[in-house]
Amino acid sequence: MTKAIKKTYKTISFFSKALILLILLISAWSLLSLIRIFRGDWGGNENSFQSVLTKLRINNANADVVESTAATSSSSTPFLAYFNGKQYKLENDILYGKPTSYHPNYSNAKLLYESGQVRPDLYKINSKLTTVAGKLKFQLQEIEPEESFFKWVQLKRIVHPKESEVIIDSEYKKYYISNKKLLEKMIIAPNTAKDENGNLVVINITKKKYHSNFSDDEMALNKDQTIQFSFKGLQQEKAPSLLVKSWYRDWMANIIEESQRSSQTVLTFKDLFRTAFNPTAISSFLAIGIAVSKLGGIGFLSSLPLLIGICGDTDGTSSTAASSGEGERHSLFFEYKNPMTGEFKHVAITEPRAWHYNTEVVEFPTDAVSKNGEMEIRIRASKRHIIGFIGVAQNLSELSDKNYKEEILPLGRAHHNRLRENMVSYLNPENKQYIHLIPGDTVDLEFSVGESDLQENQSETYLFCSSGFYTALRKDSRILAGNWWDHISKEAKERLSTLTSLNHYS
């Protein structure tokens, strides 16, 4: 009887110590949250819900429609504009680093970038450029409530055969130069399309649509909507490449609430429950309890690293992985159905540009094609996006034209219009400084033209590379920006006034 009582006592003692440890952890974490509140440290996003609504001129009764002031507390990347000889015109949004160049917290964003975890953006300029006094002029524009940090920019001039075109791969690592007619001939259009319930979707996509303007054939996908395409007539031994023309990024549903959650520092009961009772935490607390009961204070000290790990991981995943992984911000997710197992496997994530169509190549493995030459893929949209074309071409890398020349054009000027300073020296990988843009800021860029003249059988395509990061708007930057809406272009205001929350779409 005595042994049983001792055993029960030890068990109760063990769980009591573990419980006390959990209470200490929660108390310490809560204290840290309170300290952050008094310091005003809101993880890089310091707008309260009401102040954001005020900034947007949105009232609670009509929060679905973004009024003629811009924006929301989320970010979308800065924009690139080109000079057409008279004025700067929006080209598209840029700084789409891979896997992501965005983090709501400035310190985390900077750390991820400077640790080499963000690859640069590579964008194909689709507008016809005009040379002014021997220069090609562009402008960086920050037209939404965010702040961006450019480390370097680069303008590449690709001189290639006139009958060919340049296409960027979805990872922004390379580009293809393909004969237009040959590519259009080899494209395989979708055989069928189905929604998430398995119902057939009427599509009007043929290979001849690849070079159209898509105004009558747009396929809009709303938040979390999926569509499954099937293709026939492929060769199993040849690697398939998906050609995707997409654009448009609308405001996400509940964008303000989501932004607050991303930067939340105050613990809620749900956070505590999720932290304390996920499988990782339970096993960790048991291990800590054993260490404390056996080793006392030494056991507690030796368990501190594990405690820190639990604090930094509220959902069972590491904070580094969560912050550096490709996110749900405004993306299309691509998967293929394994012919052997029937399971879908992730392939890539693309981010449609906001202003104009962009074409990307998504590479699939050869095992995506079945023995009978069929392939099934699935696309999910994290926001409202529009797909203008989708089709499969095979062995695109081998067919890419090697008869081209690449020039990197010298950057001679980077004039920051708010600071009234030429900051071209900042745009150097060796320089530790960044060009910093807050809402309403613009930076005028001037590049020298290419050295080689175009021949009759040649064309030129320009690729804009940008490297850096962007983050949610901090309090000091918001104050400095002031009434930034008055400083952005009329074109930008018109664009922003048309965007609505995805709650508007059913």
pLDDT digits (tens, 9 = 90+) for 230-249: 999 999 889 999 999 998 87
Over 70: is that where the pLDDT of 449 sits? yes
Q: Of the given ranges (32-41, 314-323, 475-484), which has the lowest mean pLDDT?
A: 314-323
**Confidence (pLDDT) at 3:** 64
Q: State mean pLDDT over 152-162.
A: 97
More confident residue, 293 or 280: 293
Q: Give the mean model confidence (pLDDT) for residues 62-80.
A: 49
Residue 443 has pLDDT above 50, yes or no: yes
Judge contact between 44 and 74, C-beta under 8 A. no
pLDDT score recorded for residue 39: 41
Contacts with 372 (C-beta within 8 Å, 6 or more apart), sequence order: none
- Residue 478 pLDDT > 80, yes or no? yes
- Predicted confidence at residue 384, as pLDDT, reads 86
More confident residue, 309 or 316: 309
> What pLDDT is stored for residue 314 in this prediction?
39
Res 311 pLDDT > 70: no
Alpha-helical regions (H) of 211-251: none
Q: Span 24-31, mean pLDDT?
A: 61
Ramachandran region, residue 151 (left: φ > 0; alpha: ψ -120 to 50; beta: rest) = alpha
Q: Is the pLDDT of residue 79 over 80?
A: yes
DSSP string, 434-497: -EEE-TT-EEEEEEEPPSSPPPTTEEEEEEEEEEEEEEEPPHHHHHHH-SGGGGS-HHHHHHHH
The DSSP letter of residue 303 is T
CB 276 within 8 A of CB 56: no
Interacting residues of 198 by C-beta distance below 8 A, sequence separation 6+:
none
Proportion of the chain above pLDDT 90, given as a percent: 52
User: Is the model's pLDDT at 361 over the cut of 90?
Assistant: yes
Longest dimension (CA), the chain: 101
User: Which of 41-45, 290-294, 408-412 holds the top average pLDDT?
Assistant: 408-412
What band does 506 get if pLDDT is binned at 50, 70 and 90? Answer: very low
Closest CA to 354 of 390, 381, 330, 382: 330
Higher pLDDT, 289 or 144: 144
pLDDT of residue 298: 52
Q: Lowest-confidence range among 19-23, 206-210, 478-482?
A: 19-23
Residue 291, pLDDT score: 54
Q: What is the DSSP letter of 313?
A: -
pTM over 0.85: no
Q: What would the two tokens of residue 159 be?
A: 């001189």
Q: Are 438 and 11 in contact (CB under 8 A)?
A: no
Handedness of CA 143, 146, 147, 148 (dihedral sign): negative
Percent of the chain with pLDDT over 70: 68
Mean pLDDT of 157-172: 95
Q: How confident is the model at residue 26 (pLDDT cuts 50, 70, 90)?
A: low
Angle, helix 304-311 to helix 2-39, in steps of 10 degrees: 50
Are the C-beta atoms of residues 470 and 77 closer than 8 Å to each other? Answer: yes
Residue 55 confidence (pLDDT) above 60 = no
Please return the burial class of 387, using the count of CB atoms within 10 Å of its CB with bins 0-12, 13-18 and 19+. Answer: buried
Q: Do strands 164-169 and 358-363 pair parallel, antiparallel, or not at all (unpaired)? A: parallel
Mean of the per-residue pLDDT values of the chain: 78
Burial of 133 (0-12, 13-18, 19+ CB in 10 A): exposed
Confidence class of residue 27 from pLDDT cuts 50, 70 and 90?
Answer: low
Q: Closest Cα to residue 368, out of 465, 479, 242, 460?
A: 242
Is the confidence at residue 458, as pLDDT, over 90?
Answer: yes
Ranges of each domain in the chain: 2-39+256-324, 52-252+347-504
The separation between CA 265 and the C-alpha centre of its own chain, rounded to angstroms, equals 23
What is the rounded CA–CA span in Å between residue 303 and residue 102? Answer: 33
**Rounded-to-integer distance, Cα 248 and Cα 143, Å:** 16
